[in-house]
Amino acid sequence: MAFFKKKPSGAPAPPKSTAREWADSLLFAVVVASLFRWSTAEAYVIPSPSMEGTLLVGEYLVVSKLHYGPITPQTPLQVPLTHQTDPLFHLKSYSDLIQLPTYRFPGFSEIKRNDVVVFHVPFEAQYPADLRDNYVKRCVAVAGDQFELRNGQLLVNGQVAPSQGALEHKYFIQTTENNDDVQRDFRAQRVTDYHLTAADQLIYDNEGKPALQNNARYGPGYEVDCTPTAAAFFRAQPYVRGVVAEVEPAGQPAPWGPALFPDNPDYPATEVAPATPGLRHWNQDNYGPLAVPKKGQTVQLTPQNAAVYYKLILRYEHNAGIALRATGHDLTILQNGKPLTSYTFKQNYYFMMGDNRHNSLDSRFWGFVPEDLVVGKAVLVWLSVDPYADFLHKIRWSRLFHSVS
């Protein structure tokens, strides 16, 4: 007696149920989409004005992974097509139980100056490196460069760097009055970052006497972030008394927020690092000079540059036993309790800045971006939605399928 029936040779398989077919199709689609997202390209949206006027709030980007080469995941245990949390319930969508070393496959391009780059932020240590927030900035200095800002002017290797994109700076626009023409022209010139100053504003000296009167720099008006072209437009308007570029003077620390790197080498902590000779009082317009580390480069570690290299050696280079010792004004990097006098870098680093120079959280605050945090190159705006416009004017039609440069 046969206990098992052998399926006749060549018999057709039983048909799949509709639910099984849908499940198989969905699984296949998720696998293909995940592979494409990892290896080829990914879509991102611009949430902030830090890259205006090159990239606008509400624009959707295509970011190429092929240019610099895709990098293998560090965190393999995560829900496909999610980042940090699931989109429905906002629950944690990954486990950091397994953390893998990463490898970048060859790309067809190196990271170049003026590339618009998407990368994982160097801070947010509470997340694995490949699951931190993604920022988009312009690479203004590559490994081996010397970077500097003088009165807002970018210098690389001692030479004035050619500007790329539509850079924005902060201006004070003094107006005769707040009227509808101002708001209309702000919209026409795509000025979204502005605030109204108090009427008859006065600046007082230490003795309480008025030091600056109601002139083209102070008084009723607007502080705005806009391009030089837009600033020239406003200078010609009848309701404008004057337009002044706001530049933070050299030698004065940033007047707001945390200290800049390297005075604050562990951003976003607000504490200023112990005094470091020759590196204090940089601001957003006068910054540096600062050398960008290069793979294979050996640097001598001194009290003057310890704050610059400490975080790199500790976190990005994955060295054990690293600590920072402060003795008065002197900083010393230690490894296993002994002073580290020199160091050879294991990877390249980059200096990233937003094109909206006075409204961008970038390398001036948290320092260099290591190569293994780079995601890809922004190449195309495929959709542009104006969050400030009414329904009929939401789509910026002239920006659709606009190349990023």
- Sequence-distant (6+) residues with CB within 8 A of 159 are none
- The residues, any chain, with a CB within 8 Å of residue 25's CB and separated by 6 or more, are none
173, with CB counted inside 10 A (0-12, 13-18, 19+), is buried
Strands (E), 113-239: 116-120, 134-141, 146-150, 153-156, 159-160, 169-175, 194-196, 203-204, 210-212, 221-226
CA of residue 370 relative to chain centroid, distance: 13
Mark whether 50 is an active-site residue.
yes
Classify residue 99 as exposed, middle or buried by CB count within 10 Å of its CB (0-12, 13-18, 19+). middle
Tokens of 59: 């624009």
Strand, helix or coil for residue 307: helix
Catalytic pick from 64, 65, 93, 137? 137
Kindly tell me the number of DSSP H helices and DSSP E strands found in the chain: 5, 23
**Which of 295, 227, 222, 296 lies closest to 54 in space, CA to CA?**
227
Q: What is the DSSP string of 327-394?
A: ETTEEEEEETTEE--EEE-SS-EEEEE-SBTTS--SHHHH--EEGGGEEEEEEEEEEEB-TTS-GGG-
Which residue type is seen at 299? V
Residue 140's alpha-carbon distances to 19, 179, 381, in angstroms, are 52, 39, 21
170 is known as an active-site residue: no
Element at 151 (helix H, strand E): none
DSSP 47-68: -SGGGTTTS-TTEEEEEESTTT
Which residues are part of the catalytic machinery? 50, 137
